[in-house]
Amino acid sequence: MATKIIACEVMKEELLSNQGGQDINFHFVEMALHEHPEKLHAELQDVIGQSSGYERIILAFGLCGGALKNLRAPESMLTIPRVHDCIPIFIGSRALYDTLQKNNKGTFYLTGGMVNSQKSMMAEYERVCTKYGEVKARRIFATMFGNYQRVLFIRTGAPDEENDLRKSVKTAALLNLQHQTWQGRKDYIQKLIHGPWDRGDFVNLPPGEAVNEEVFIFQPAQME
């Protein structure tokens, strides 16, 4: 196989459904690792190190709290979307995401993969309830999300999306936030899988070169 994609489990349905029969090897890592960037870094480097014989390895991640810093692929081109987190990939473009952020500050984004993860907001709330009781759990979450105004569920066309939407609505109710939906676009996901991996949307590192976070700084020249 010429290409391998390493991604967070929350992107699994979107990536697999847009594969289009192309010969790609996928490897998915647990969302819970995002809470520990050093562990996520070690996991990604380990997976990359065990991935030989690929012309290109694609990391379907953003910077993720510095977890990608100094990663390197000894034998393969390493391609990474030029984003800070995965939300622009689901939205369809970084420019559209930036507009949403500018016009709607205080937004908490959700997708089907996020609401179904073992580290979903509802799952975390249940764990906190078990440990501290419901009254204290509600106070904790009210403090954590006091600066948010809404939950925005991104539709991606994933299977069982209506059920995922209901979970998103429940999450918004739990956090006492407005709930809205947004129709995501497949543009970024399609490019991530099939290319072209242009420098405006992707960082491309030759074999052996380490990830430097400075290359994720978006300069106008990179968008030409």
Q: Are residues 194 and 131 in the same domain?
A: no
Burial class (CB in 10 A: 0-12, 13-18, 19+), 131: exposed
Q: Are residues 103 and 178 in the same domain?
A: yes
In the structure encoding, which two tokens stand for residue 126, read together?
């249940």
Q: How far is CA 44 from CA 49, 61, 84, 110, 198, in A?
A: 8, 10, 17, 24, 23
pLDDT at 222 over 60: no
What confidence tens digit (pLDDT) does each residue in 159-195 have?
889 999 999 999 999 999 999 999 999 999 999 999 9
* pLDDT interval class at 213 (50, 70, 90): confident
Higher pLDDT, 58 or 103: 58
Q: Are residues 10 and 21 in the same domain?
A: yes
Secondary structure of the chain in the HEC alphabet? CCEEEEEEHHHHHHHHHCCCCCCEEEEEECHHHHHCHHHHHHHHHHHHHCCCCCCEEEEECCCHHHCCCCCCCCCCEEEEECCCCCHHHHHCCHHHHHHHHHHCCCEEEECHHHHHCCCCHHHHHHHHHHHHCHHHHHHHHHHHCCCCCEEEEEECCCCCHHHHHHHHHHHHHHHCCEEEEEECCCHHHHHHHHCCCCCCCEEEECCCCCCCHHHHCCCHHHHC
- What confidence score (pLDDT) does residue 161 get? 94
**What residue numbers bound the domain in which 60 lies?**
3-87+186-223
Q: Are residues 98 and 179 in the same domain?
A: yes
Q: Are residues 29 and 57 in the same domain?
A: yes
Q: Are residues 179 and 112 in the same domain?
A: yes
Q: Are residues 83 and 190 in the same domain?
A: yes
Q: Are residues 98 and 174 in the same domain?
A: yes
* pLDDT interval class at 220 (50, 70, 90): very low
- What confidence score (pLDDT) does residue 209 get? 95
* pLDDT interval class at 221 (50, 70, 90): very low
In angstroms, the CA 70 to CA 93 distance is 25
Q: Are residues 100 and 179 in the same domain?
A: yes
- What confidence score (pLDDT) does residue 223 get? 40
Q: Are residues 57 and 45 in the same domain?
A: yes
Q: Are residues 68 and 99 in the same domain?
A: no
Q: Are residues 106 and 122 in the same domain?
A: yes
* pLDDT interval class at 63 (50, 70, 90): confident
Q: Which residues of 27-43 are buried (b: 16+ CB within 10 A; e: fewer)?
A: ebbebebbeebeebbeb
* pLDDT interval class at 54 (50, 70, 90): very high
Q: Residues 57-71: what's their mean pLDDT?
A: 89
pLDDT at 7 over 60: yes
What confidence tens digit (pLDDT) does each residue in 77-110 have?
999 999 988 999 999 999 999 999 898 889 999 9
Q: Residues 105-129: what's their mean pLDDT?
A: 92
In angstroms, the CA 161 to CA 159 distance is 5
Question: What is the total count of domains within the chain?
Answer: 2
Burial class (CB in 10 A: 0-12, 13-18, 19+), 122: middle
Percent share of the chain, pLDDT over 90:
75
